[in-house]
Structure 1
Amino acid sequence: MTPFKKNPDAVSPVVGVMLMLTLVIILAAVISGFAGGIAGSSNSGSLIEITAQTKIINSGNNDTSRFEIDIISVNDPVSTKDLKLKTSWKSYDDAGNLVLHENSSMPGTKNFNYIKSGVSPIGAGPGLPQWDGTYENISTNMSFGNYAIMAGTKMVAYPSTYYLNGEYTDNQYTDCMQAILGEGWNNLSSGDVVNVMLIHVPSGRIIYDEDVNVNLT
């Protein structure tokens, strides 16, 4: 019988085990990174876990119509300077064609100019004044991009006093509702659906995504 000869070019068992361990560690890191994409990252690098509820009410009049995101819980306060608010909804034009309406609110980019100019949605709640829709009472720290969201924060928009009976009597201004939902938002009626997203800009991750039914009250 011919005896087996040692092959000096073969990989030793120790090196083989080390290579396999390295491969396992790399795969685990890739899987962990993929799973982390489910939620956004806060400024500290931890995953953002947010629970919120959105209301969109179109009663036809300025005093009872509103857009409101109520932040129920969030694991860490998140500055709105790192967020983008995006809304989208569909309607049909006079010719029966389907039209997609998309609108985004970016921190620091003024999007309303009624009485005061600023960035909608307006912040209210912890550390901020409550807002009743009176535009004279909007302060700089209430503009989107200048406040942080935490449990109890409300992100709010009301139409201007020119909004009556489902129509605008003066179209020279853009109010907070138009800034968020677009100029044709007043055509939204009960049962229509608006998609609302909060996007964490530094990570590009969607931290809140909800289809919201429009109500009359």
Structure 2
Amino acid sequence: MKTNADSAVSPVVGVMLMLVVTIIIAAVVTGFSGGLVGGNNQKAPQLTMDVKIENNGYVDGSYFAATVTGVSSSINTHNLEMVTTWTKTFSNGTQINGGGNATPGVMNTFLDWQPNGWIASDYWNWTSPQGFGPGVGAYSYFWPVGKVLAYPQGSGSGSKGSFTVADMMAGKVSNASWWGNYNLMVGTTMYARPFGSAGNPDQAGDPGTLLNWGYGCGGVGPYVYSYGSGMGVGGSSGQVNFIQGVEVDAMQGLLGTNWNILRNGDIVHVKVIDVPIGKTIWQNDVVVGGQNYVGMSGSN
């Protein structure tokens, strides 16, 4: 015999089941939407930069320089990747593509030379562009030397210690100016230049060093790399081994090994990506500048 109490059980159970299902669905939807907010919907930092790319055919006067003009807050380059891409179209319709990138912890510059008289000739590899100014730690030079050294910066030669490439590779010595090791703030400058003779800052060593190897060096003329091995003249007079296909200078690492075909008026697309959130925080088409450096000696 069916009672009124029995007939009331089914509706109650049904309502309870509906409530349980609703709660489960709500929890799933909340978790999914929360994942989106915590992932790609993170607020990207704001960045503005003034970027210049110059190529006049010689080491002096050819460079990549990016200066931060605005930033929402200090941005660690350890979280950033810089990417460059370009297409060169010649008058006969031939197109050549190029580009490079700066990724924290991934070296893009490989040079075998003696930066100055107190550093042994060895492989010096780092990640360009290097940083200068605000946001860059102490002991940041153009040379790939460390911020934690056996001697203070500016000390006399008698008190200078020593370090090796192996020390840098093991993390015992790391340069504050390498991409990935500094922060972007208003005024931070990121810089790269081709390998070659004296300048300040200078990859050849002490200012005054002249090389027969490098970009526009050795009398080869503008827009051409001169490759070879030997000693520099004047300044640090260090040993240089600049071998094609082996050594890669900072401009080649950042813009591509064929960057030297770029001329005044060509376009390079540059973008900076915030890797953790997967968003581009700055990008622009940069017009290459630079006229032939009249009066510049091919050996300089």
Taking structure 1 as the reference length, the TM-score comes to 0.74
* Equivalent residues in 2 for 1:64-143, closer than 5 Å: 64-92=61-89, 96-114=93-111, 115=113, 116-128=124-136, 134-135=142-143, 140-143=175-178
2:223 to 163, 166, 169: 166
CA distance in 1: counterparts of 2:184 and 2:75, whole angstroms: 5
CA distance in 2: counterparts of 1:167 and 1:153, whole angstroms: 31
> Which residue is 1:194 aligned to?
268
Secondary structure, in 3 states, of the residue corresponding to 1:180? Answer: helix
> Which residue is 2:254 aligned to?
180
> Which residue is 1:206 aligned to?
280
- Return the offset for 1:119: 0.2
Residue 53 of structure 1 pairs with residue 80 of structure 2 = no
CA distance in 2: counterparts of 1:119 and 1:95, whole angstroms: 36
CA distance in 1: counterparts of 2:135 and 2:80, whole angstroms: 19
Is the 8 Å Cα contact of residues 65 and 159 (structure 1) preserved in structure 2?
Answer: yes
Structure 2: segments with no counterpart, 5+ residues: 1-10, 12-25, 114-123, 148-174, 197-213, 217-221, 228-243, 292-300
Secondary structure, in 3 states, of the residue corresponding to 1:211? Answer: strand
CA distance in 2: counterparts of 1:138 and 1:58, whole angstroms: 29
- Return the offset for 1:100: 2.5
Is the 8 Å Cα contact of residues 124 and 130 (structure 1) preserved in structure 2?
Answer: no
CA distance in 2: counterparts of 1:204 and 1:69, whole angstroms: 22
* Equivalent residues in 2 for 1:1-80, closer than 5 Å: 46-80=43-77
Residue 215 of structure 1 pairs with residue 289 of structure 2 = yes
Is the 8 Å Cα contact of residues 84 and 99 (structure 2) preserved in structure 1?
Answer: yes
- Return the offset for 1:99: 2.9
Q: Name the Cα RMSD after superposition.
A: 3.7
Secondary structure, in 3 states, of the residue corresponding to 2:110? Answer: coil
Residue 156 of structure 1 pairs with residue 191 of structure 2 = yes
Secondary structure, in 3 states, of the residue corresponding to 1:173? Answer: coil
Secondary structure, in 3 states, of the residue corresponding to 1:183? Answer: coil
The structure-2 alpha-carbon separation of the partners of 1:136 and 1:100, relative to structure 1 and needing over 3 Å to count, comes to closer
CA distance in 2: counterparts of 1:78 and 1:90, whole angstroms: 30
- Return the offset for 1:158: 0.8
CA distance in 1: counterparts of 2:265 and 2:110, whole angstroms: 30
Runs ≥4 residues deviating over 2 A: 92-100, 127-132, 134-139
- Return the offset for 1:181: 0.3
Question: After superposition, what is the alpha-carbon deviation per residue over 1:46-98, rounded to whole angstroms, capped at 9, x for unaligned?
Answer: 53111111100001111211101111111111111111110000024798432
Larger Rg: 2
The structure-2 alpha-carbon separation of the partners of 1:62 and 1:110, relative to structure 1 and needing over 3 Å to count, comes to same
Is the 8 Å Cα contact of residues 273 and 282 (structure 2) preserved in structure 1?
Answer: yes
Q: How many residues align?
A: 197
Taking structure 2 as the reference length, the TM-score comes to 0.55
The structure-2 alpha-carbon separation of the partners of 1:186 and 1:95, relative to structure 1 and needing over 3 Å to count, comes to same
